[in-house]
Structure 1
Amino acid sequence: MKKRLKHSLIAGGIVIALTATGGTAWALDRFVIPHVVVGDVAAYEAEQSASATPAATDEDDTTQALTEPVTTDTTYTSDDASIEITQYTQGSGDDTVTYYVADLDLSDPTVLRSAFANNQFGENITALVSETAEANGAVFAVNGDYYGFRDSGIVIRNGVIYRDEGAREGLAFYTDGTVKVYDETETTAAELVADGVWNTLSFGPALVDDGAIVSGIDDVEVDTNIGNHSIQGEQPRTAIGVTADGHILIVVVDGRDPGYSRGVTLTELADIMVSLGATTAYNLDGGGSSEMWFNGEVVNQPSNGGERATSDILYIAAG
């Protein structure tokens, strides 16, 4: 009798168990072997930007703040951006939750940029957040949506279209500072860019809309190309949102470490965002991928015990 080979893969925090040689070969190709579509992202974006035509731009739940700030870890100011990072802690014992909030005040919304691991676009291309940040001269960075684990979703980064396969609820950042949740299946990447979209994120779900927590988020699953995957329970999380006065809020919640931080549910994450003043907020890749990096150091404590390689980051370049 032939031996059955079991191979376990971890991609974006999702564990996939596969059996049989054929299944393993398929899984290695789909989730492990890099597939490079754009080999030099920097050159590609420069080429696209040079040929682009200037785009047009767009012109009651009650929640209680989960905690008060404990310490302000650091701040940064340049001509284009002001960054303030604050650590928050709530609860005690095994119920303790620790999270970090980056408040970004940007004079130019396009200062918030995206970068791909290894300066390449495609599937299964990863690098540590710190490596991608340093390669792009960042002063601040956070994990993105792990676009490279999927072959679907609209991917627009730094005003350039990389993928146009609408599949889910996405988040769009416009060049005028507007941030909107949208249905990828009801538009195209070209239409979004024509309307002034600078970056899109494709993970989800939306957490806050028009200042209110979105209903039903505790039942949401994330599609992974091989079926839906539960992202419920108390987990490390990363979320991004915008306030009424245009500040970008990025929250990284640590987890899986009783006594330091248990993690949060999606509803708790939404409550954090509302308590901070977010009018729109969106869930990004979490688990061991959740990481905030500033000025050469990892700010939070990733649940893996160290950084996990991811496919993309959002960052602010040093001024």
Structure 2
Amino acid sequence: MSDSALARRMSRRLLLGGAVGVAGLGGSTAWALNRYVIEHVEASAADTTTAAATQGSFTDNGYTSATSTVGIEKVTTGSGSDTVTYFAAELTTTDATLIRSAFAKDSFGTNIIDYPSSIAATKNAVLAINGDYYGFRDTGIVVRNGVAYRDKGARQGLALYRDGSASLYDETATNAAALIDDGVYHTLSFGPGLVENGKAIAGIDSIEIDTNFGNHSIQGSQPRTAIGLIEPGRLLWVVVDGRSTGYSRGMTMTELAQLFLDRGATVAYNLDGGGSSAMVFNGSLVNNPLGRGQERGTSDILYLAG
């Protein structure tokens, strides 16, 4: 059993009130718990937002305010074991700083988690999706709401700018301060990038993310969360359910990229998926994670302020 798998098993015992203490564990297990389970708070959440959200009106699958609109569509294709179900939310806003990020428990660090719906509720979010689960790793550039929290470039990231634009970038070729100076409001560090300059990126079905953690599950047909840009101020957020025969098998990376292209995206980026994939609208979970209707705790969300 890998250290990370052992840590996940031990975390369940600890969270359920098990009597095992870190001090009494073997070195490898204690290290794994410290690295993957025990909360390490590095900073309280902060932001540089100045725009106030305006109150809007909800419908069953949409939202409208003076500054923003949301439309959500549930799509099911195929049949039997080839059924795919996904939720596509198109957002438009005249102020990109209304697209915000929130951390679990309002704290930045590793292993700090909460359900996406619970995080969204603390922010009165109109719409929210899970983020990049930054707290599972200790590398990457993390800029949220205009504030730099981590500056350890390691992979391809996505930058969301104050002017409503977005771009893929190489984390190892820049730093958090330079990104903020260029107008970046959020960075996301997971991947891979799916679409760039209006074209699907080649080879995305063979990319592995964080292989040192044994995290190969982005390959094949999986539950997905991804974000795309159609044009400045107009975003597409997609959550694909999966691992549920007859309801949704999930999508490959290539299928996910094509979905964004079909809906007009010029840039798209894959976020944390699997059981973490979640979309919350007007306080309620929209999708059906793993066909069980149960969210999984995660580090962070992206949301539309309302």
TM-score range for the pair, normalised by the shorter chain length: 0.7 to 0.9
Secondary structure class of the residue paired with 2:221: coil
Q: Which residue of 2 aligns with 1:24?
A: 29
Q: Which residue of 2 aligns with 1:308?
A: 296
Q: Which residue of 2 aligns with 1:267?
A: 254
One-letter code aligned to 2:47: E
Q: Which residue of 1 aligns with 2:208?
A: 221
Structure 1 residue 36 corresponds to structure 2 residue 36: no
Preserved CA contact (<8 Å) 2:140 2:189: yes
Q: Distance in 2 between matches of 1:269 and 1:216?
A: 13
Corresponding residue to 1:179 among 138, 143, 166? 166
Pairing 1:30-109 to 2, within 5 Å after superposition: 30-38=35-43, 40-41=44-45, 44-45=46-47, 74-109=61-96
Preserved CA contact (<8 Å) 1:145 1:285: yes
Preserved CA contact (<8 Å) 2:229 2:268: yes
Give how far 1:230 is off. Answer: 4.4
Q: Which residue of 2 aligns with 1:7?
A: 6
Q: Which residue of 2 aligns with 1:141?
A: 128
Preserved CA contact (<8 Å) 2:78 2:84: yes
Q: Distance in 2 between matches of 1:132 and 1:187?
A: 30
One-letter code aligned to 1:210: N
One-letter code aligned to 2:112: I
Q: Which moved more, 1:174-183 or 1:218-227?
A: 218-227
1:184-237 Cα shifts (integer Å, max 9, x gaps): 000010000001000000000000011111000011000155466341011000
Give how far 1:296 is off. Answer: 1.4
Secondary structure class of the residue paired with 1:113: strand
Preserved CA contact (<8 Å) 2:7 2:33: no
Q: Aligned in 2, Cα 1:254/1:230: closer, same or farther, shift over 3 Å? A: closer
1:133-182 Cα shifts (integer Å, max 9, x gaps): 01112121100000000100000000000000000000001111110000
Give how far 1:245 is off. Answer: 5.7
Q: Distance in 1 between matches of 2:36 and 2:211?
A: 11
Preserved CA contact (<8 Å) 2:242 2:291: no
Q: How many residues align?
A: 279
Query: Which stretches in structure 1 are left out of the alignment for 5+ residues?
Result: 1-5, 12-19, 51-71
| Higher strand proportion (structure 1 or 2) | 1
Q: Which residue of 2 aligns with 1:208?
A: 195
One-letter code aligned to 1:267: T
Q: Which residue of 2 aligns with 1:153?
A: 140
Q: Which moved more, 1:216-225 or 1:106-115?
A: 216-225
Preserved CA contact (<8 Å) 1:73 1:87: no
One-letter code aligned to 1:171: L
One-letter code aligned to 2:145: N
Q: Distance in 2 between matches of 1:272 and 1:236?
A: 14
Preserved CA contact (<8 Å) 2:95 2:233: no
Give how far 1:316 is off. Answer: 1.0
Secondary structure class of the residue paired with 1:9: helix
Percent sequence identity over aligned pairs: 57
Give how far 1:244 is off. Answer: 3.4
Preserved CA contact (<8 Å) 2:115 2:297: yes
Query: Which stretches in structure 2 are left out of the alignment for 5+ residues?
Result: 11-24, 51-58
Pairing 1:283-302 to 2, within 5 Å after superposition: 283-302=270-289
Secondary structure class of the residue paired with 2:178: helix
